[in-house]
Chains A and B, each alone.
Chain A
Amino acid sequence: MLNNLTEFIPRIPIAEGTAWFVGWLTSTFAFLFNPIKTYFGDFMEWTANLLYSIPPIIVILIVALAAFFLTGKKYGLAAFSVFGLWLVHNQGLWEDLTFTITLVILASVLSVIIGVPFGILMSKSKTADAIIRPVLDFMQTMPAFVYLIPAVAFFGIGMVPGVFASLIFATPPTVRFTNLGIRQVPTELVEASDAFGSTGAQKLFKVELPMAKATIMAGINQTVMLALSMVVIASMIGAPGLGREVLSALQRAQVGPGFVAGLGIVILAIIIDRFTQNVNTKN
């Protein structure tokens, strides 16, 4: 009986549906995807080359100085940055590093630009919250590799699909934490703002966002770390950088080079993490 019932309904063609849908998107929005692929790709290339054209010693010094002042004139992070970046350079991974940094920064900036407004929307509207929340859950739990497939369909291979996949994967924390941060603003402060006759925008910019800043920054920190992990995965679809070194070491079963490239990613991750955290706690 039960057997009959399960046999009775044929397999629902989700896979086919998705394939059709992505195909439809690709052809329908080609006018949008193609220029993005070309111009944004060029822009990224140009940024990475610009970064690479600066002598490493100057980059290291700037990072060290920034670390020194961001951490409230402590030497720890500055010393680590100098040593870590020098080591990456020493291992001949400097060019890969500049590509990875470019990808992470651009992907994160886009995530924040898109994520914060959505977070604000969610905090202001129950309906928006009810719709966006499950979408975010979906985006975060779907294995990251899956995003690479439509990314390639839309943008071919290279850095642009890497950023696209990273956007989907890394934006949710910024949205969530922005929403949370605004909802957590004490009622009295919101009331105070209203009671003095603030407009909605005045309330948002003068009270809610400043109050939510620490929480939003915690979300951005997570977004940046996720973007870094995604950028590594994106090497599978041809994004250049440290990830590509890991991948090729994996393909050739070379333990040594694999470890060195992995170490480069760890160093970068630590520096980025401490930087975004310190921006957070500074005020």
Chain B
Amino acid sequence: MANIKVEGLTKVFGKRSKQGLELLKQGKSKDDILAETGLTIGVNQASFEVNDAEIFVIMGLSGSGKSTLVRLLNRLIEPTDGKVWIDGENLAQMNDKDLREVRRKKMSMVFQKFGLFPFRTIIENVEYGLEIQGIDPTTRRKQAFESLELVGLKGYENQYPDQLSGGMQQRVGLARALANDPSVLLMDEAFSALDPLIRKDMQDELLDLQEKMQKTIIFITHDLDEALRIGDRITIMKDGAIVQIGTPEEILVNPANDYVERFVEDVDRSKVLTASHIMKRPETVNIDKHGPRVALERMKEEGISSILVIDSKRKFKGYVTADDASIARKQEIKTLEGILKTDIPKIEKDTPMHDIFNIIHNIPTPVAVVENERLVGIIVRGAVIAALANDSEVESENA
């Protein structure tokens, strides 16, 4: 079920915004429109759908319109044009009362600099959203406590925000957003103000929470590593427009254009590439059909000194070396059973690169890649090194 659906959402800042809209529809660029009319394009005809319980990451360089886009979703900024469907209702056309109702019950927001009220205690901050709904003090306290407990801040309820560290403050921000149990969470660079270690913790924590809560999360960031860690899908924005939407893999392996590619360039590839991206088609012999003679023949053909062995169901068995095979042939042995070696590492197809690197860097043999016990590929050391060095051949081979 699509929870949020955005159609042609546009924001033009400035007095004659309709004129800007016309120019956008004619296909003019942000820079041209600014030069021609002095109008700033915040968001340019963005369309996308966010699925239920998905973490949808929006990323882009500074000024690309991420904050504007997320604020159009709860109408902290009034859209110039377009629709925002949430559970079948168009938020862009709602009257104030209905809009408040959506903000109170369905959508919450977490802010970059936390947005906590300094004159309220932690628990009073967390219960703010409930308080303005007119929920009675006992009920809302109880709900706020539960929310605070969820983010691991039990015991801090009577402190003030400035008594807490940045990471803790953002947990309060999260607890406040979760207190009214919304189905949608909007997070604008929620972890960007935190130092790197805390930031990682918060990302993990968000993923843990998400496992339990299954919210629809729209997460803004300008950090690709963060996007890749937590995003189910990633959207890349440029000059207010959406350039690409895809899973982390699709974006990395298949950047839509130069802009995305430049964005993606400096990412540590080892975090996202998996065994399936760098494996090669393996040369094999079938233990049920072939003997040492065929094995030697294949090795000679391919110029290799060992060959992988499978059975008729492509199940991975092990490997044989050329030396063992020629001894066996001299002794007139007909099967591979006796010379089969099994001391070869076996990894799953979706093993991430950095794990493969740890396995492969201290053993001499290649690594077999399997899926449900079936052999699907082989990885040699050179390929791992090449991929880590961002070798373009590896990338285009697998694209």
Contact = CB atoms under 8 A, between A and B. Distances in A.
A206 B111 contact: no
A283 B132 contact: no
A196 interface: yes
A53 B132 CA distance: 47
B145 to A, nearest CB: 18
A187 to B, nearest CB: 9
Nearest to B130: A196
A199 interface: yes
A168 interface: no
A188 B111 contact: yes
B390 interface: no
A283 B113 contact: no
Contacts of B129: 196-197
A280 interface: no
Contact of B115 (A188, A197, A198, A202): A188
A197 B76 contact: no
Contact of A196 (B71, B99, B119, B132): B132
Contacts of A283: 119
Interface in A180-232: 186, 188-189, 191-199, 202, 206-207, 210-211, 213
A264 to B, nearest CB: 38
Contact of B117 (A189, A199, A213): A189
Contact of B104 (A188, A193, A197, A213): A197
Contacts of A213: 119
A191 B115 contact: yes
Nearest to A200: B96
B111 A191 contact: yes
Contacts of B128: 192-193, 196, 206
B100 interface: yes
Contacts of A196: 103-104, 108-109, 128-129, 132, 176, 180
A192 to B, nearest CB: 4
A28 B375 CA distance: 102
Nearest to B179: A196
A195 B133 CA distance: 13
Contact of A188 (B108, B112, B133, B180): B112
B119 A202 contact: no
B119 A192 contact: no
Contacts of A202: 132
Interface residues of B, number: 29
B111 A198 contact: no
B101 interface: yes
B103 A207 contact: no
B74 interface: yes
A199 B100 contact: yes
A197 B133 contact: yes
> What does DSSP make chain A's interface, helix, strand, loop or mixed?
helix
A196 B117 CA distance: 13
B108 A195 contact: yes
Interface in A213-254: 213
Interface string B56-81: 00000000000000010010100000
Interface in B149-186: 176, 180, 186
A172 B129 CA distance: 35
Nearest to B125: A192
Contacts of A189: 115, 117
Given A197-B129, A206-B132, A211-B119, A192 B103 contact: no
B103 A197 contact: yes
Interface string B125-154: 000110111000000000000000000000
B109 A191 contact: yes
A167 B109 CA distance: 44
B76 A194 contact: yes
A78 B103 CA distance: 50
B109 A197 contact: no
A195 B109 contact: yes
A60 B201 CA distance: 59
A250 B76 CA distance: 62
Contacts of B118: 211
A210 B109 contact: no
Contacts of B131: 206
Nearest to A202: B132
B119 A210 contact: yes
Contacts of A197: 99-104, 129, 132-133
B346 to A, nearest CB: 51
Contacts of B74: 195
A202 B132 CA distance: 7
Contacts of B116: 192
A197 B130 CA distance: 10
Nearest to A192: B115
A211 B118 CA distance: 8
Contacts of A207: 117
B76 A195 contact: yes
B70 to A, nearest CB: 10
7 contacts: A186-B115, A188-B112, A191-B109, A194-B76, A197-B103, A211-B119, A283-B119
Interface of A: 186, 188-189, 191-199, 202, 206-207, 210-211, 213, 283
Interface of B: 71, 74, 76, 99-104, 107-109, 111-119, 128-129, 131-133, 176, 180, 186
Given A196-B128, A211-B118, A211-B119, 14 more contacts: A188-B113, A188-B114, A189-B117, A194-B103, A195-B107, A196-B103, A196-B104, A196-B180, A197-B103, A197-B133, A199-B100, A199-B132, A210-B117, A213-B119
Nearest first, the 8 closest Cβ-Cβ pairs linking A and B are A197-B104, A197-B103, A192-B115, A188-B115, A196-B129, A195-B109, A197-B100, A188-B111
